[in-house]
Every structure is written in structure tokens, then in C-alpha cells.
Chain A
């Protein structure tokens, strides 16, 4: 939040209620010029509502929205100079690609020559100069969304808003277009807000990610911070895959905890008393498998485990192993390679992970969010 004092897009204490339901609580954000900010969260978390308030399609019940220091909270959308890209493309079906892109300039009464020139440039930008006279129904979904992007950029908006722009597309096109959006955004240096429920998109594209849940901001940070240092159990469970293991504090000062009848060490001192029930969150890729018992050392935690299942996910191999007296299932990810000796189901192995990989969270916090975890996994 170092740019708070010279933010370009400022939202402060923004609130929105629909009837008795509060969709957005007290939303604060300050994005600097040229920043790419993502709103990430499950459906119904308020991310789209917030975006629509920036666009002017909804008006907040409280708080203010400023762009470049100018108050726009009560302005209608057509007075805002904000570009919008929709999940459903929303191209005008009765107009050619060129007319769609030129629409914003036409309604502003720009001279025809200017419009034609700018439309040409934008079609170059999205690599579709030959499609100027095509109609939207003649284009693929990916092409339509690129045209929608060009159309939003044509009015030279101060802020570009994208509402789940890739959700309706196939996986391959989604990845390709993601990169294209990022390149264009960098090239133009346009301040951008991107709404998505896809954590991979948010992490890859953004300068900063705003993780939201139930109308509230859970965490704001760089993709690196969000992934590696989740501030709340929700963020930990929503971003990336996570093993959430029930454990008990043994000695807070040295970070020792007990899990499944074995003692492991977390990387830091813990707040809490001995005997407190906690959750240990560990990313699957932070865990390694070993065929034989590794040397005990302070640098790693080690636990005996049994292979339950092996799944090839392409570049990654995911093992499900059971650990401890109550046979808790833990996911372990390893990069795939042809020389990988894959243990078969039922064989005994050891799992090891560094103390720093253990994120210790209060038990009740995670308990609440196990549904969210399930929901998030189901969505991905």
C-alpha cells in the first residue's frame, strides 16, 4: 500500500447492499497509475459488484470512488471514461468488428478519419487487421473477446475493467489470451482491474491481487505474498492447493507441534499455549517423498506415510498419502519426469518438509473454511 497517497484509482469505504444483503463491506483500495489489480474470490464474494461500481453500473451505498483524484462515485457510466470488457463479450451483433471498435469514438463525435486510423491501430494491436469487416457471429470466442478488448481500449479509458473475460473460453485459448491481455496492458500502461475466480489467472497477470470473500477483502498483496504468505485461512485455502492438517501445539516458543502422534516443527514461534488445537497448512509441492527413512535433522520434518493413490496431472504427479494414527490424507506434488520412480499404492514411504512450509492457523478459522476449500477445489 505504498502508493496510497498518490493512488490513481481510489476506493474508500465503498459499500453496497442489495435489499438486506450486504454484497460489499467497507472496500478500500488504492491502485497506482498503470497497475494491474485482480479481484479474486469465489462467486458471490462481491468482486463483480465492486467492479460494476467502478464502471458506474451500480452505485455504492457508502464510500467514494476517485479516478486521478476526481470524484466519480455518482457519475453515470457514460460520463466516466472507463473501459469495460464483459465475460459474454457483449459485442454489438449488428455491427462489424470495425464498427464495434469505433463505436465509442463515434458516439463522442470524433472525425471519421481519426476513428478509422485508431480502429486500424487497435486491430493491429490485437492481431486481427484482416477481420475489420467481419461480424461477431463469424468470429470464435477468443477473437470476439479480443475485439471487445480493443473496443474498450478505443475510447482511451483512464481505467480498464475486465469482468471474468476468459471464463467463457476454452482452456488453451484462455492461457494464450491471458498473456496477450498482459502484454497489451503493459504496452499501454493502462490502470486495470481484473475480476476472476481463477487463481492461476490472478497470480500470473497481476501486480497486486485482492482476495475477497463474502463481501470483504481478505488480503491485498503481490501474487508472491498471496501465495506464500496467506494472511488468512481463507486465502490459504482458496489460492493454490493446500493440505490442512489438524494438530496440537506442544511448545509455542520453539514452534513444536504434534500431529498424528508425531512431533513436527513449524518455522516460527507460535502464538498460543501448549495443547491448543491448530491447523497446519502445507502446500503439496513443499513436501518431498523418500523411499527410505531420511536422517533426522532440524532442517526437515519427517513422517512415515503410505501411498494411497497416484495421479498424473501432466507436468506434476500428485500422490495421496496417508499419515499418522488416524490416516490423514495428504497431497504431495512432484514434478514429472521420465526417470521418476513412481511408488505403487500401498507401499511405505517417508514424507519430508521444511519447517518454514508449515503455516499454523487457528483451528476454528480453518474449520469454517473447509467448505470454501471444497468449493474452491470443485471450481478448479
Chain B
């Protein structure tokens, strides 16, 4: 990696240096091309081809066939629910330890917990919830002891609500991690200024603090949405393909042509990229707005 770097500097003439400086980033772009651009391009191209290799838009049309559209709707729904619930709960939790008058050490503990929990996912997480809320899980057993049988009333950890509960485990900690610095960024002078102008605590929150935090809150919720939408391992392990989740279907398509149409598989992958792309873009834009205010 150092070779192009050295060459980039060795040139003494300023005119050439401008073009040569780009040589320093060649390795980066090479890796990006090989392992991001090329695979995605392959999927893009494939998504516009039919089984015979002819160019077609049929694959995108097929995204709207009931089974595929349902999978997207289902995935989007659980991502949305866990983003909103996880976002609100994560915000309240972060607020509790920062401004809620809880002891300082709890805050540090929560931040470390959140760092772990937001990265704890996939197989072990799915298993942990089966041990907790599965048919033999300890919470299920405890509730049964109280005379409530969640499974008798239709609950199942392998159902949509079950999956949502599992996703929340990594969703709200991610919210805590991202929103905590923003809550910290609320300057005490803002509250004091508002109070000295006669605002009540409620007025301060509704008119100053929440509007300032809103871009970050919304942006982070969108990030949580993407976080859940892209998650494959947890859902795969928990539901073993019984629920129509987009990443799980794509996973099945990788292993074998379950859709009986490779092009449709590529189009689904593109559909995921588009949903993720939109959410990340909105996140970045909102984040930028929040930062502009925070200067």
C-alpha cells in the first residue's frame, strides 16, 4: 500500500502532483470495487435479466406478486414496529440515566450494557429468547405458575410478536448509544434561558428540547429500522424459514433456487438495498441537520 503513496509524493512538479495524489487512494477503491461494487453490480445486472439472459423488467414486476410483496410488507412492518418501540424505549432509558436523577454509575453501566446488547445478535440471541419465552422458557414457566399461559392465548416466540421482542433486544440499546450524546448535548443554558423567560418545564420540553432532539430521534429510529430490516441471522435461527422475512428468503435463494427464478432473487436483494439506501440517506440528512444546530 505504501508504494503508490510514495510515488504520489516523489513527484516534485505541482501540476503532476494533483493527479498523482489520487494514487494514494487506489488500494481503497480497488477493495471497494472488488468487494462492494462488483458483487452489487452483479446483482443489479442479474435483476434485469430473465432465465435466458435477456434484458427484462419482469423481475421487478414479480416483486409485486403476493408472496414476495407480503415478505416485504412483513419485514417492513416488524422493522418499523421495533424501530418505533425500541426508539421510544431507548430514548426514555437514556433520558432516565442522564436527566432523570439516577445515580451516575448507572449511566456508565447502561452505556456498557448497550454496547454489548446492540452487538449481541444472531444465533445466541435467538437461543437466549427461546430459553426465556419459548414453550419451556423461564418467563413462560413463571407466567404459567401465575395461571397465565401465554402459549394458550396465542403467543409464540416463533411468531411475529416473538420476533419483534427479540429484535428489541438489540434495537433499544442502539438507540441508547446514539441518543445519549444528543441528550448530553442539550445545554443547561437552554433550559435556564427558557425558564428565565417564564417557560414551564413542559413548555421547555415541547418547544425547545424535543424540537432540538427531533432530527436525532427520527434519524436514529430510521437507522433502527434499517438495522432490523437487514438482520438475517436472528430471524433465520428463530423461525427457520416459517416467517416470510425478506433476508431469510434471499438466504434461502443463495442456498438453492427456492424462487425458481434467480433474477427474482436478485431483484429482492435490490429491493432490500433500495429500502436500506433510502433509510440511511434520510438518517444521514437528519443527522447533518442536527449537527448543524449543535455547533
Complex contact flag A–B (Cβ < 8 Å): yes
Binding site for B on A (CB under 8 A): 55-57, 76-84, 86, 88, 90, 92-95, 103-104, 106-108, 137, 148, 151-152, 154-155, 161
* B119 touches A (CB below 8 Å): no
B196 near A152 with CB under 8 A, answer yes
Q: Which B-chain residue is minimally distant from A161 (CB atoms)?
A: B196
7 chain-A/chain-B pairs, Cβ below 8 angstroms = A56-B196, A80-B196, A86-B192, A95-B211, A106-B207, A107-B199, A107-B207
Q: Are A90 and B295 in contact (CB under 8 A)?
A: no
| Given A83-B196, A84-B196, CB of A107 within 8 Å of CB of B189 | no
- Contact with A107, one of B200, B212, B295 (Cβ below 8 angstroms): B200
Residues of B within 8 A of A161 (CB): 196
B144 close to chain A: CB less than 8 A: no
Q: A107-B203, A137-B292 are in contact. Are A92 and B208 (CB under 8 A)?
A: yes
Q: Which of A77, A107, A137 contacts B192 (CB 8 A)?
A: A77
A94 adjacent to B293 (CB under 8 Å): yes
- Is B288 an interface residue when CB atoms closer than 8 A count as contact? no
Measured in the bound complex, the distance between the Cα atoms of B186 and A365 in whole Å is: 44
Residues in B neighbouring A56, C-beta threshold 8 A:
195-196
Residues 173-226 (chain B) with a chain A CB within 8 angstroms? 187, 189-190, 192-200, 203, 207-208, 211-212
Q: Smallest CB-CB separation from A87: which chain B residue?
A: B189
We find that the number of chain B residues with CB closer than 8 angstroms to chain A is: 21
Q: What residues on A are CB-neighbors of B190 within 8 Å?
A: 90, 92
Beta-carbon contact of B208 and A55 below 8 Å: no
Contacts of A94 in B (CB 8 A): 208, 211-212, 293
The answer to whether the Cβ of B294 comes within 8 Å of any Cβ in the partner chain is yes
Give the A-binding residues of B (Cβ under 8 A): 187, 189-190, 192-200, 203, 207-208, 211-212, 292-295
Question: What's the Cα separation between A78 and B202 when bound, in Å?
Answer: 12
Q: Which residues of B contact A107 (CB under 8 A)?
A: 194, 197-200, 203, 207
Q: Are the C-beta atoms of A86 and B193 separated by less than 8 Å? A: yes
Q: Which residue of B lies closest to A81 (CB)?
A: B198
Residues of B within 8 A of A78 (CB): 195-200
**Other contacts beyond A103-B207, A137-B295: 20, CB < 8 A:** A55-B196, A57-B192, A76-B195, A77-B192, A77-B195, A78-B197, A78-B200, A84-B196, A88-B189, A92-B190, A92-B208, A92-B212, A93-B212, A103-B199, A104-B197, A104-B199, A106-B207, A107-B198, A107-B199, A151-B197
User: Do the beta carbons of A84 and B198 come within 8 Å of each other?
Assistant: no
Chain B min CB distance to A208 (Å): 23
Sorted nearest first, the 9 A-B pairs with minimum C-beta distance are A104-B197, A90-B189, A93-B293, A77-B195, A84-B196, A107-B199, A94-B211, A90-B193, A78-B195
A103 (CB) vs chain B CBs: closest residue: B197
- Chain B residues with CB below 8 A from A152, complex form: 196-197
Shortest distance between the CB of B248 and any CB in chain A (Å): 41
- Distance (whole angstroms) from the CB of B216 to the closest CB of chain A: 12
**Closest Cβ neighbor of A136 among chain B residues:** B293
Determine the distance from Cα of A81 to Cα of B192 in the docked complex, in whole angstroms: 13
Q: How far is the CB of A189 from chain B (nearest CB, A)?
A: 20
Residues of chain A lying within 8 A (CB to CB) of residue B211: 94-95
Q: Is the CB of B194 within 8 A of A103?
A: yes
> Do the beta carbons of B198 and A55 come within 8 Å of each other?
no
Please give, as numbers and ranges, the residues of chain B lying within 8 Å of A86 by CB-CB distance.
Answer: 189, 192-193
How far is A149 from B212 in the complex, measured between Cα atoms in Å? 21
Which of A79, A90, A103, A155 has a CB less than 8 Å from the CB of B187? A90
- Residues on B with C-beta less than 8 A from A88 are 187, 189
* Residues from chain A with Cβ under 8 Å of B189 in the complex: 86, 88, 90
Residue contact A108 to B212, C-beta cutoff 8 Å: no
The smallest C-beta distance from A147 to any residue of chain B, in angstroms, reads 12
Cα distance, A84 to B279, chains bound together (Å): 41
CA gap between A154 and B193 in the complex, in Å: 12
- Name the CB-closest residue of B to A102: B197
The residue in chain B whose Cβ has the minimal distance to the Cβ of A105 is B197
Q: Which residue of A lies closest to B203 (CB)?
A: A107
- For B194, the chain A residues whose CB sits under 8 A away are 92, 103, 107
CB distance from A321 to the nearest CB of B (A): 47
Q: Which of B190, B197, B203 has the most CB of A within 10 A?
A: B197
> Nearest CB to that of B210 among chain A residues?
A94
- Which residue of A57, A78, A137 has the most chain B CB atoms within 10 A of its CB atom? A78
Q: Are B293 and A137 in contact (CB under 8 A)?
A: yes
Query: If the complex has contacts A92-B212, A93-B293, A137-B295, are A82 and B207 also in contact, measured as CB distance less than 8 A?
Result: no
Docked complex Cα distance between A82 and B198 (Å): 9
Contacting pair B292 A84 (CB below 8 A): no
Q: How far is the CA of A104 from the CA of B199 in the complex (A)?
A: 7
Say yes or no: A84 contacts B294, CB within 8 Å. no
A90 to B195: give the CA distance in the assembly, Å: 12
Also in contact, A155 and B192, with CB within 8 A (given A93-B212, A93-B293, A137-B292): no
| Chain A residues within 8 Å of B294, by CB | 93
